Amino acid sequence: MQFTVHAAKTNLSKLIDAALAGEEVVIAKGRKPVVKLVAISQGKFQIGILEGQLEGPSPDFFEPLDEDDLTAWEGGR
């Protein structure tokens, strides 16, 4: 849906709700579209989301690698 700048000012809350609902909201100067109102993803980052679901010991990233692993990481065989 397309709105003029004046209509967008008057109905901004409704246009934001429409964008959040996934509708395409375009704002135009006169008849020329100039801006698209897009919702920002609200995904939440959570550390430890798989805690207790993985088998085996978890790696200790602060411990040095053994020689075979270090050689593999450095491109050796």
For 20-35, how does the pLDDT look when each residue is reduced to its tens digit (9 = 90+)? Answer: 999 999 999 999 999 9
pLDDT at 9: 94
Q: Flag residues of the chain having pLDDT under 70.
A: 77
pLDDT at 49: 76
pLDDT at 77: 64
Place of tokens 């100039």: 34
Q: Per this entry, what is the length of the chain?
A: 77
Q: Is the pTM of this model over 0.85?
A: no
- What does the DSSP assignment read for 20-69? HTT--EEEEETTEEEEEE-PPP-----TTTTTTTS-SPPP-TTSPPPHHH
